[in-house]
Chains A and B, each alone.
Chain A
Amino acid sequence: MNRFSYARPTDVAEAVREGSPGDVRYLAGGTNLVDLMKENVERPVRVVDINRLPLHDISDLPDGGLRLGALATNADTAWDARVEERYPLLSSAILAGASPQLRNAATNGGNVNQRTRCYYFYDTATPCNKREPGSGCGAIGGVNRIHAILGASAACIATHPSDMAVALAALDATVQVTGPDGDRAIPFADYHRLPGAEAWQDNNLAPGELVTAIDLPDERFTGHYTYLKLRDRLSYAFALVSVAAALKIEDGRIVEARVALGGVAHKPWRVKTAESVLHGETPSHNAFLAAAHAITEGATGHGDNDFKIGLARKAIVRALRQAADGTPQSQTDKRVA
């Protein structure tokens, strides 16, 4: 690990002052940043430890929504009674990810800001446009079983590794940030970005900006939802493909459909126009298949990951069936029903 200077502010304004100049990283749970520092992928000159900031609470919003503090841990969030009751999709997605130890340390802000697990990003001996702009992409033409099939670019085919973020995308969350130029709210769909030519930029945070909270709207999908995660082993592995699905069904017809994919793109993948394919339909295999094709339109494999295209479509169909039937995927009994 490189040597760095260390600051531990106790209020948000002070943190932003400390965090603004140059090569600075905010430290929360450390489960991703400390690992990347050990690998020499991250080499901050200064680390601003934000764990003493008052951002640990989960609180009701006046409009009926829920505010998840940026420093609330993933475990405390997944097991918060209000989250379990009102946003079971989010609880399920969090519990599908990482391990209990990691979820006890990892925070909500850190979860959405975690970086790709692309092998080439981690291996400083190989080219990577995300780690070293302009050096090339080792994954294109390399070993790319875990890589993106949607929204990738000639510069980068990395995926976003989070499960939590997939549920947040489906739930239309909002990311609250603060920074040198003040506060702003970023709709979740606009928070992460596709790699384009600037693969090093995971999201649309400006330099020095800090996530303070994630807000969930007062729109609850408690009856018809599922988080279906497919991976090489049943626990403690990143998704090859995951699906967060949420439906509203009235008089036997779908009136609202949300589908977000993980493990397939540089950001949680949602296509709102494709979701509308389901509106007015009765839940059926054919309707789900049509939606699956619409959501994955333009999917492109890179060799090792060609299988993900078919897998994603089947996973969408299966997840929509689970959601429609009101039988969400268990995160302990891993049999896919």
Chain B
Amino acid sequence: MATATLDTPTESRSITISLTINGQLRRLPVEPWTTLLDLLREQEGLTGTKKGCDHGQCGACTVLIDGKRINSCLSLAVSRDGAEIVTVEGLADADKLHPLQQAFIDHDAFQCGYCTPGQLCSAAGLLAEGRATSRDDVREMMSGNICRCGAYTNITDAVLEVLEKETAK
């Protein structure tokens, strides 16, 4: 029975984890069933990251973990202990917009804006991957982000513009 207490599943038991969120090292108590999305929004007040479907189907919750885009709704925060997280709040350089943010404005790449933080983080991940070279590539590699307003054409234009500028460098 020595392990009975440890294994009582109803017991609320916080585990302290470390995350670097948008460049700031944070030590955070989390319950093991807390998703990274809920941690960011509810505990850290970073409500830029959106909860759309909460099942990995819409991409609104996309953030960068150690430079890679993932669905924060399907990630248990405790499992990401030690990771570096970038959310939409961390994309800009102080008052200077990230090139993707500027391109989204220039191309009118949103209407309601709810999917936009996920689209931006996903596009940042896409650029870092260095695999997309064509419009078809961008369309396929942005397919994990749903936009119910249907701004896809302009989103594709915006991402493609930044991609082409980065490639030309």
Interface 1/0s, chain B 39-74, versus A by CB < 8 A?
Answer: 000000000000000111001001000001111001
Q: In the complex where A5-B9, A46-B9, A333-B136 touch, is A100 in contact with B144 (Cβ < 8 A)?
A: yes
Would you call A34 an interface residue if the criterion is a C-beta within 8 Å of the partner chain's C-beta atoms? yes
Asked if residues B33 and A101 are in contact (CB atoms below 8 Å), the reply is no
- From B71, B131, B145, A79 is in contact (CB under 8 Å) with B131
A46 to B6, CA, bound (A): 10
Asked if residues B7 and A332 are in contact (CB atoms below 8 Å), the reply is no
Closest residue of chain B to A99 (Cβ to Cβ) is B144
Asked if residues A99 and B32 are in contact (CB atoms below 8 Å), the reply is no
Asked if residues A101 and B59 are in contact (CB atoms below 8 Å), the reply is yes
Asked if residues A5 and B8 are in contact (CB atoms below 8 Å), the reply is yes
Which residues of A lie under 8 Å from residue B78 when comparing CB positions? 6, 8, 49
Distance from B25 Cβ to chain A, minimum over Cβ atoms (Å): 20
Asked if residues A30 and B79 are in contact (CB atoms below 8 Å), the reply is yes
Would you call A47 an interface residue if the criterion is a C-beta within 8 Å of the partner chain's C-beta atoms? yes
Interface 1/0s, chain B 122-155, versus A by CB < 8 A?
Answer: 1001100101001011011101110000000000
Q: In the complex where A4-B33, A6-B32, A332-B137 touch, is A105 in contact with B125 (Cβ < 8 A)?
A: no
Distance from B132 Cβ to chain A, minimum over Cβ atoms (Å): 9
Would you call B76 an interface residue if the criterion is a C-beta within 8 Å of the partner chain's C-beta atoms? yes
A79 to B55, CA, bound (A): 25
Residues of A in contact, count (CB < 8 Å): 34
Closest residue of chain A to B126 (Cβ to Cβ) is A100
Distance from A40 Cβ to chain B, minimum over Cβ atoms (Å): 12
Which residues of A lie under 8 Å from residue B145 when comparing CB positions? 99
Would you call A201 an interface residue if the criterion is a C-beta within 8 Å of the partner chain's C-beta atoms? no
Interface members, chain B 1-41 (any A CB < 8 Å): 6-13, 15, 32-33, 35
Would you call A236 an interface residue if the criterion is a C-beta within 8 Å of the partner chain's C-beta atoms? yes
Interface 1/0s, chain A 60-81, versus B by CB < 8 A?
Answer: 0000000000000001000100
Asked if residues B62 and A101 are in contact (CB atoms below 8 Å), the reply is yes
Interface members, chain A 11-31 (any B CB < 8 Å): 27, 29-31
Which residues of B lie under 8 Å from residue A203 when comparing CB positions? none
- From B9, B71, B141, A31 is in contact (CB under 8 Å) with B71
- From B9, B15, B62, B69, A3 is in contact (CB under 8 Å) with B9
Asked if residues B33 and A3 are in contact (CB atoms below 8 Å), the reply is yes
Would you call A331 an interface residue if the criterion is a C-beta within 8 Å of the partner chain's C-beta atoms? yes
Asked if residues A51 and B69 are in contact (CB atoms below 8 Å), the reply is no
Would you call A337 an interface residue if the criterion is a C-beta within 8 Å of the partner chain's C-beta atoms? no
Interface 1/0s, chain B 72-103, versus A by CB < 8 A?
Answer: 00111011010000000000000000000000
- From A1, A49, A100, B69 is in contact (CB under 8 Å) with A100
Interface members, chain A 105-148 (any B CB < 8 Å): 105
Asked if residues B32 and A100 are in contact (CB atoms below 8 Å), the reply is no
Would you call A38 an interface residue if the criterion is a C-beta within 8 Å of the partner chain's C-beta atoms? yes
12 more contacts with CB within 8 A, not counting A5-B6, A6-B78, are A3-B12, A34-B75, A34-B76, A35-B74, A45-B7, A46-B7, A46-B9, A101-B56, A101-B69, A102-B71, A104-B69, A235-B143
Can you list 15 A-B contacts with CB-CB less than 8 angstroms, sorted by A residue number? A3-B9, A3-B33, A6-B32, A8-B79, A35-B56, A45-B9, A79-B131, A99-B59, A99-B143, A99-B145, A100-B125, A101-B125, A236-B144, A332-B136, A333-B136
Measuring CB to CB, which residues of chain B are less than 8 angstroms from any residue of chain A?
A: 6-13, 15, 32-33, 35, 54-56, 59, 62, 68-71, 74-76, 78-79, 81, 122, 125-126, 129, 131, 134, 136-137, 139-141, 143-145
- Shortest Cβ-Cβ A-B pairs, 8 listed: A99-B144, A235-B143, A6-B32, A332-B140, A236-B143, A104-B68, A332-B136, A101-B144
